[in-house]
Amino acid sequence: MAHTRADFENLVNDLFSVVWKADDMDAIDRLFDPECRVRGLVPGVSLNRAEYREAVEQYQQLARLDRFELLDVLHDGADRAAVRLQLHLTAVIAGGSAPQDAMMFIELRNRRMLTLHVQFDTLQYFELIGALPANSAFLLLTGHALT
């Protein structure tokens, strides 16, 4: 089954507005294929639907999604797309708000997410809310520890 760009846009919009923002974890079962694998949310770990739910709940203890913007969808004309987003988060403990850039590579099966590869620019987000010094990436590249 070939999927449309709108299929990807709708699923990503539902994922962030219903699951992440409205906290409806049951929607994960509707949006994700039963055999779904999510990579990148937890480094080095491939998550199934139940594990993804747990990861979202844990992440929400650290940051609240205020809003999101779907910036680009690059669709292959069939079952895969690359998506670029900007999330606007508020740190739960520190209270600071900042944007966080994100990318997702998605494969669909029957209009449900089968494979996701996600990447969030966490380093920049931590810099913007004041949890890390500015230009931390450059400090890390020079071999300095962030202590």
pTM for the model stands at 0.86
94-138 tens-digit pLDDT: 888 899 999 999 999 999 999 999 998 888 888 888 878 888 877
pLDDT at residue number 42: 85
Question: Strand 112-120 relative to strand 32-39: parallel, antiparallel, unpaired?
Answer: parallel
Q: Which of the four pLDDT bands, split at 50, 70 and 90, describes residue 39? A: very high
Strands, DSSP E only, in the chain? 32-39, 46-47, 63-75, 80-91, 97-109, 112-120
